[in-house]
Structure 1
């Protein structure tokens, strides 16, 4: 390989410093690259704080980007500052925040590629940020390890399921903390938690992240196993580590995943571990025949066929059995259809139809109802949802649970899920419509559902 020689710096007409890179050939020196840097002696003013933060975040992830990639990253800040992305980038170069590397063609003149790398000021800022992140991570690790030691000390007295689960939690946490220590010492890869639900990777520059939330969730669950003989509520977990307003919502963003994660590593359902409530209380609106048998026996809760009823998710979740004599079930995303069908008296005339209202979201209790009702042979299911992204997500979930479900396509046609999705994809006019735009009246409902 021929030796690369560097010549410079040369003061360019724009005041910047330029280094020329040459490859030595048999007869001459062939220019292969240029490096253009800001001139610190010119004292060019620092870019705005928002612009500096953009490049800090960008180059914390990678050390080299194309010119276009950095322009795209600066686009939002360009709007707020009133300067174009090109002007902001040129200011970053002149102020020694970013250096420009230009790869030349074989002719030594044409520019083949322009890449940007951290300049002196950006390197210093990145080093300072890394030091701050390192301190924050070490403080986080120290605090979590202190609670882990308390779990070890108190866990020796627990027996049965609680003792077994706590032992497994301690084992997992010991492994995760070991990964973090090795990473901080430069002796291991980025820590991660891999399980059947996916991979949660440690992000030292972003606390909390999914990795740290999973660790904190296990610590809080282990603590509750020690101090709550009669079980614990979901909202009690966050305040264990983070007392104060809002702490009860600490783990809400990952609630389904964290509960599944706990079941995966412990081998027991969250309820068997001791979770007596998942921290949510909401209503399920319905009209039609429905019977809920409680786990304690006794008379079942029988819903009046002609009444508009609001059950709680707790009633549905705790029911030992769910039954209905209705041969048809209609699922409606929005309450407007349910209310109109009820107020017009149309539902009072239906003896074989159960209508369930989602109120905009398909939640755990709705899923339980649909799964139980779907076990009966010969029962027909219908779904009427919006055609926006949220409605399509609900439709996909319903089709996954109940493959034979028919969906209402605007303005009033029943389709399989496959046809419904295909029609939406190929006809933009059908997308992003609300159910309320075409609720219709009893003649339409008769045609669709009777």
Structure 2
């Protein structure tokens, strides 16, 4: 089964927790702190595997979670970082954030990597918090949570040359006789439901990948027929072979078919109509094909090479394949190679500017409760280890420094009121000696 679009869940590993520990060695009465840092959580990494041709495997596994980092240890030993979770994808895979639609990666080269969910940093152990004022702190941080998101994977077939045309014009037959591919061939529309790839090798030693793509009909750019299922796969092809039933065997007008297919390409993506194109005038073994071809040449106002062929009798195929190889060579010479990068993310870089004096948090009332919200504040709650008094006091001092205490007091909070931050409940007390 050919699968070219899936939605999966990815989560980076959580960071390991830092540790509170002290040196307890003989003859070392004031050993000091010795709690190590937690290890980093593993990243979820998509890697291109050139042997894959479909997203089929993702139908059976849709959740990918990297392992968390190890917790810190005593004797100042840091926890080990977790290994990355490597997920193999086929060449031509586009990765987008399912919620925002943001482009995360466009993976085309074998071995190309993209981190789609980063693991959390490990929390610091108490060796990091020793000061002259507090040389033996009971403070350690929890590790950061790993990133998590739903992503959409969309496969756009990587082929040098794409065959386009109306249904039943002979694209699959053409592919089957010029390569070793074995597409399904039958005398009804949309026999080809998925792209079929074949490698063409010509006598002079050159070779290229050719794709038989599902037939187009009017309105395909809006999703009619196979619509977008087809059109996404034509985007990466360098050359287009436009296959036309020149015999008009179904009562169609070859020139009108030619115009309509090009219009669908243009409406889907403006640049596709300018993609180098060859016309394969197929079914020349049938009656009236020669007459239709002469009329077609008179009507055609574009300087596009036309090759009369018959995929059924193999007439003219050698000339067509040589012409396609020559045009492909020309396109590749004129197109500068794209730089190879390990991570290929969206080109636009977002810049966020903080407003002057804008607080990092908001406060709202829910009946008798005060709810404090803000990414920085909630992250502080998540990282604080509330088992230790020193950690609790450090948390309270940070809230006071950030202005949370004053803001609560202005909203009417009094001692004993309940404050919720990051899903945890706290009792408001502005009389603590910090």
Query: Given the two structures, how large is their TM-score scaled by the length of structure 2?
Result: 0.25
Between Structure 1 and Structure 2, which shows a larger proportion of helix residues? Answer: 1
Identify which of structures 1 and 2 has the higher relative contact order when contacts are C-alpha pairs closer than 8 Å and 6+ apart: 2
Query: Given the two structures, how large is their TM-score scaled by the length of structure 1?
Result: 0.24
